[in-house]
Structure 1
């Protein structure tokens, strides 16, 4: 948009310099209006820059709050406030720009319509100026004023008083008015649409022009009726003149026919010469086209050869690259295989070392177990010998004659008597079972 503005300003400056001498007053007003618009645009640009700086500062403040901080509720709330302010600023800026663009688009449409209307008006002025010198001179057979019907003089007098055939308007405005007025059939609804086609006219002027047009139509109808009556009266006079002119016209017609035949003969010769020139030109063009076609075919064959050579070169390059990739892949696979073999050897070596260590540990444990078994067997032998000695001593003590006493079976033992001595008045029951911690199976007998 900035480049387009610069280009348009440069074009406008050149055009203004070229036309400034002839339209000095108008260009002075345009320069003043341009200065006012430029000041307004600069003020609007400064306002936009201030809004953008405000948004930029809000974003930078938000970024500074995010550097090297810990997420706390107060910080999050503060960040939310900053984000809300930035969002409100951006939305306000967008809404202002949207409204401004809509206003500018409306102004542009209105200006375009006005410019088109003025351009068409200027074109009509130019056409009218150009066409006036070419008009044929007035007919000398115009009858005197007294010969005209009074309706014709009334119409001419009305047109002279009201500003000519367009009622004081230019041709373009009058044609636009007629277009809208005819479209609506003269109903009052046409005025709102006519105001769009005639931006330089007020509603009162349009209504006055409508009254003038209706009066003009009425006078023209009266003029047509009067002219028809006048023509009927003149028809008889014209018949007499026609009879007298027929002989002259016949003579002129014969002369014209002779001239026409001679002109036709000349035209025929010119057509034959033009046909011969056209045929020669077609032959020359056909030869040029054949040469161009041959040249094009040669260039096409050359392009195909170059493309084929390029494809062959690319194929060779591709095969070379694929061969290098294959060799590199084989080398990588060989290195990978060697690495796996080395790892496998290391794993086998570690496995053998581990097996030897396990075997040594097993032998050591076996020696320990054997030593424990020997110690256990030795203890069992000692215990067995001790039991034998105790049994021998008991046998020595209990040898003798013991009489049978059946009442001994129901008599309390010494231990029971001792226990009953400590039983209180509550009569606590004796302990029938005493629980002990279980001994694991692998520790039993050690």
Structure 2
């Protein structure tokens, strides 16, 4: 019983430590999510208040959480409607439920043990709390995924706005420079120079675009060539490996065949040796049997001759002359005569002793 108690206490301590670790991990994850949410809200506020963006002045002021994804607001609404992060239960009951639920891996077998740890809750309440917890996990996963997508999209939008603004400013600067040159140069030559520069700029721009396109095409061709070379190399490696496996398999089959042939030859050799030994044993046993049979026949003949001699002697005795003596029947035998020698004469003398039954010890002397 002491060993069982020690085992139960050790199991309880292990489960308590594991449950504390789970609670710490949950608290850490919750703090990280809150930090990410605050960071995203700060980013959105920073983008709205940036004076360099032309669209910032046209946007109306909105609450900080209005730009958050719908999944985040859905999780907040769910927690508000269902009684907070513990689903309307107190923290101890919720932690006990999580401990049992995590122990069983979310399987339905946790219900009986949960009922033992939560005697104040019915099975229906435990099932409803499990459904609430499953929905909470689902909404938390959707919230994390939505925040990640929202962050990525916001970054892309910010980069796109910055890039478009820079391109617009660059185009405006170039236009201003061209207009200023055109306004400053009044002569035809100056206007032709401006037109020539503009044409050169257009040609240079077109040339750069063509070079970039050619570079992209060359990179695509190079990539396809490398992929083709890689597939060819993998095919060669695969064929070499298959050939190696085939040769190895043939070698193993040849070794197995030789092994079987060797074992067959050894079995045949053992069979021949066994046949020789059995034959020699059989011959030896046959000689022994023949010798025993011959000996028995000799004994039988000797016994038969002895019986014949005895029969002949008895026959000789029976055939002799025997005299009859009828008085022999009433004469005492030698044994009776010897017995009577040790018995004295009988008579009516005085009785010296009379035998009685023995008296018990406890009655003696009464």
TM-score of the two chains, using structure 1 as the length reference: 0.37
TM-score of the two chains, using structure 2 as the length reference: 0.44
Which of 1 and 2 has higher RCO (CA within 8 Å, sep 6+)?
2
Q: Which structure's CA Rg is the greater one? A: 1
